[in-house]
Amino acid sequence: MASMKAVCIKNDVGPATALYIDTVPIPVLTPGQVLVKVHAFGLNRMDLLQREGKYPLPPQAPKTLGVEFSGQIVEVYSEPGKPGERKIGIFEVGDEVFGLAYGGAYAQKIAVSTDTIMKRTNNISIETAAGIPETWMTATQALFQVGCFKEGEAVLLHAGASGVSIAAIQLAKSNGASAVYVTAGSQEKIDFCVNELGATAGFNYKTQDFAEQILKATNGRGVDVIVDYVTGQGYLEKDIMCAALDGRVVILGLMGGLKTDEPIDIGAILRKRVRIEGSTLRSRDLDYLRALRQKLEDESITLFHDNSFKVPIEKVFNWTDIVEAHQLMESNNTRGKIICIVDH
């Protein structure tokens, strides 16, 4: 059986130091898939959770980590009896692409559906392309599909310097948000969001009550869409406090734990008609992902090509330094994507 190199986890679960590169079989293509030689992959917080055994994988996900990548198509699925196919839909062998996968990007090659990839031009570097799919598709989903954001509305994004919030700040601004507020754990991160990305204002969750600050900044009105990756540690309670009438709270993560610190004020949810909805991207079916990819491609891709949209990269590692890359993400001291370049 043909083999390749991929990042593996000693004993299948463990700390960052359990990561190592080993030889594994090359994935076998199924209908609708292409085999991509991976140039680079992006790190995401779900990778840390999966490595620790805390992330339930969808059934179609391989054991290998990684959901976003850039690379080159080296093979397309061929029906039995029709070997040597070189094209599938608009994609063909040799195309430079980037995209989203259910898993498997921490490897020299990945099998992926054509529904979740896009063609890459030289205007977008391989490093930048590897940092777009997961974060920008998640931000698009959170703001528009789930959060139902409309022009003129105000937005609050927690973890303002995270990859998804960096994307969401720019998406909200380009679609006519009246204000974009963020929370972060340092003044440096807040200044980055405001001065470099164009957020309206930011609040330090370590030293400020963000709900009080939001209400003060909006003259008591609150914000229309809140994207929350924390939920616990008092966040959901404060989200409800600073939500506007008919506000929407989109829960994308549980960095602060599974339970709220204080009882939830159900009355405030009723009075304000607040809608609270949780969402994940990785567990969605291909039809959903195809529609989301198409929305990103139709409405945003040209803004990457002309550099209107920024994809800040904190650091680029060689994938042989995957342990250090995971440790940097665990430090929470980043302002943008962590990217790994794959050797062949």
pLDDT tens, residue order, the chain (344 aa): 799 999 999 999 999 999 999 999 999 999 999 999 999 999 999 999 999 998 888 888 999 999 999 999 999 998 887 777 899 999 999 999 999 999 999 999 999 999 999 999 899 999 999 999 999 999 999 999 999 999 999 999 999 999 899 999 999 999 999 999 999 999 999 999 999 999 999 999 999 999 999 999 999 999 999 999 877 677 899 999 999 999 999 998 777 667 777 888 899 999 999 999 999 888 899 999 999 999 999 988 889 988 899 999 999 999 999 999 999 999 988 888 999 999 99
CB atoms closer than 10 angstroms to residue 15: 15
- 258 in the same domain as 145: yes
Q: Of 252, 278, 304, which closes a domain?
A: 278
- 255 in the same domain as 317: no
Range of the domain at 311: 3-132+282-341
CA atoms within 13 A on the CB side of 237: 12
- 262 in the same domain as 201: yes
- 273 in the same domain as 139: yes
DSSP state of 18: G
DSSP state of 145: I
- 336 in the same domain as 267: no
With H, G, I as helix, E, B as strand and everything else as coil, classify residue 306: coil
- 254 in the same domain as 308: no
- Rg of the Cα trace of the chain? 20
- 233 in the same domain as 190: yes
Angle between helices 235-242 and 210-217 (to 10 degrees): 10
- 159 in the same domain as 264: yes
Q: Of 258, 278, 298, which closes a domain?
A: 278
Looking at the 3D structure of the chain, how many domains does it have? 2
- 208 in the same domain as 295: no
**Tokens at 194, concatenated:** 């405001």
- 122 in the same domain as 33: yes
Q: Is 81 exposed, middle or buried (0-12, 13-18, 19+ CB in 10 A)?
A: exposed
- 308 in the same domain as 191: no
- 106 in the same domain as 12: yes
